[in-house]
Structure 1
Amino acid sequence: MNVNTIATLDYYNPKLYNSDVVVVIDVLRASTTMVAALQEGAKSIIPCSTISEAFQLANNYPTDVILGGEENCVKPLSFNLGNSPREYTKESIDGKHIIFTSRNGAKAVVKAKCAQKLLLGSIVNGSAISDYLNNEPHKNITILCAGTRGSLSYEDTLAAGKIITHLSEENNVTLNDFGSMAALLYQYAKGDLVKHIISNSEAAKRLERIGLERDISFCALEDSHHVIPKLFDGKIIT
């Protein structure tokens, strides 16, 4: 099994990678939020790159659709929900289609949408993703970390390291250099991910400044969710 781990979406060129599957990671917070939404009963999530595109897509769903996402970490004007996974409760989203946009994670999904298979991974469902990859005949895997505003993300690297660590327990895995570094970082931090993320993550510090520190704890809770989000026909489903 070959695993190529990409540090940010800016470094990802789909033409350069012959992957059986791409796993997109944006721990703080888009991939965690989408995982949470699907586990709480959302019908599907339609990712898009911009707020204006989200409003245009909403016109195609006269009922059972809500707008979710963020701009500079906060809920855009006229959106139903922001990018906090804690907002996506069964009461607010059960049976709904969610049109979702965010600066990093949603854009990463859109950029990788032509992959043979695309999954959403995070710390909260890392083991479920690893188990799925172990049980399917995948030979070439790309782990795409969305990053933060074009820069490497500490928490995305941790999630990649978690997935790689579990894959390595069941397979003979060949890693690129960044994947090896991610696995080592996860081994170093896995005893207290919340502490390490708060201490080292730029995105976490930004969330703390605007009073969303509870999101960090939610997003760093290992294996609290079991869903495996997959992109199919432009929608993320389970």
Structure 2
Amino acid sequence: MQLRIYFNPAELTFIEPSEEDIYIVIDVMRATTTMTVMFEQGARQVLAAQTLEQALEAGRKVPGRILCGERHTQTPPGFDCGNSPAQFATMDLSNRELVLTTSNGTRALFACPEKSTRLAGCFYNGTAVTGKALELAHERQSNIVILCAAEYGYFALEDAACAGYLAQEILRQKPEIQIHDSTHGAITLYENYPPAILLEKAQSSLDLTATGQQKDLEYCLARNKSACVPMVTGIENATGLLQLAYPASQLIEI
């Protein structure tokens, strides 16, 4: 079993990514943290869209869905909610369906091979998501890939540091796993930029603070607070959106 880390979805275009691998997709600030909170609040399904147009169309086709989106930290016109974990933490989402499109995180989910197993990972569900990835990799005799969403195609410090944290968690649970140079790099970044430093240094953190959304950082930078592991379960035929679910039977102890 091997562990590899990619700091940008574009890196996958230079290789032949395997559909057999288990992918942990990270967008710490904020998409994968938001998805985790959505399921904590009882959501039945989250549908990830690549574009605003896809999301709006999916909302029109199925009335009653909560339309959630973000571009450049702001909620686009016509959407019910943004991409704020703090906002969703105050909502009762029991048995609700949500459509979500974000600047980076939802696109990263689509960058993985179409039939691959994709998990939404972040600091907030770190132990749970790594435990689930190892469980699935063991069952399928496959490898694990950690994919950072990056920031509009550029390196994102918080995603890379979180990748290092998740790599440490995987090594703690399975010390014999084979690792690549990228893993050493990510772990070094995490050791030098833990959440307290990311709060002050990461550009995404500074942007959220500047726009009055610093409450989200309390969720984005908290470690191991959730046992929820959002997982891509398929593609909705009518819309082409990725379907994410979190069955209660998949609860991971943390």
TM-score of the pair, normalised by structure 2: 0.86
Q: 1:46-77: per-residue Cα shift (whole Å, max 9, x none)?
A: 101111111111123123x1101201111111
Does residue 144 in structure 1 map to residue 147 in structure 2? yes
Residue matched to 1:173: 177
Separation in 2, partners of 1:113, 1:54: 21
For 2:228, give the aligned amino acid.
V
Separation in 2, partners of 1:50, 1:135: 32
Separation in 2, partners of 1:14, 1:143: 16
Residue matched to 1:187: 191
Instruction: Report if aligned partners of 1:113, 1:231 keep a CA contact under 8 Å in 2.
Output: no
TM-superposed CA distance for 1:15, in Å, is 6.0
Residue matched to 1:88: 88
For 1:200, give the aligned amino acid.
K
TM-score of the pair, normalised by structure 1: 0.92
1:204-219 superposed matches below 5 A? 204-219=205-220
TM-superposed CA distance for 1:113, in Å, is 5.5
Out of 143, 162, 173, which is 1:159 matched to?
Answer: 162
1:1-238 superposed matches below 5 A? 1-13=1-13, 16-18=16-18, 19-63=20-64, 65-89=65-89, 91-112=91-112, 114-136=114-136, 137=138, 138-171=141-174, 172-190=176-194, 193=195, 195-234=196-235, 235-238=243-246
Which residues of structure 2 form unaligned runs of 5+? 236-242, 247-254
TM-superposed CA distance for 1:10, in Å, is 2.2
Instruction: Report if aligned partners of 1:4, 1:179 keep a CA contact under 8 Å in 2.
Output: yes
Separation in 2, partners of 1:106, 1:134: 23
Instruction: Report if aligned partners of 2:26, 2:163 keep a CA contact under 8 Å in 1.
Output: yes
For 1:142, give the aligned amino acid.
V
Instruction: Report if aligned partners of 1:25, 1:121 keep a CA contact under 8 Å in 2.
Output: yes
For 2:173, give the aligned amino acid.
E
Which consecutive aligned stretches of 4+ in structure 1 deviate over 4 angstroms post-superposition? none
Separation in 1, partners of 2:56, 2:192: 43
Q: 1:69-105: per-residue Cα shift (whole Å, max 9, x none)?
A: 2011111112111011011136353221111001100
**More moved, 130-139 vs 80-89:** 130-139
Instruction: Report if aligned partners of 2:25, 2:147 keep a CA contact under 8 Å in 1.
Output: yes
Which residues of structure 1 form unaligned runs of 5+? none
Aligned-residue identity in percent? 24
Separation in 1, partners of 2:84, 2:113: 23
Instruction: Report if aligned partners of 1:161, 1:186 keep a CA contact under 8 Å in 2.
Output: yes
For 2:192, give the aligned amino acid.
Y
Instruction: Report if aligned partners of 1:8, 1:150 keep a CA contact under 8 Å in 2.
Output: yes
Instruction: Report if aligned partners of 1:41, 1:90 keep a CA contact under 8 Å in 2.
Output: no
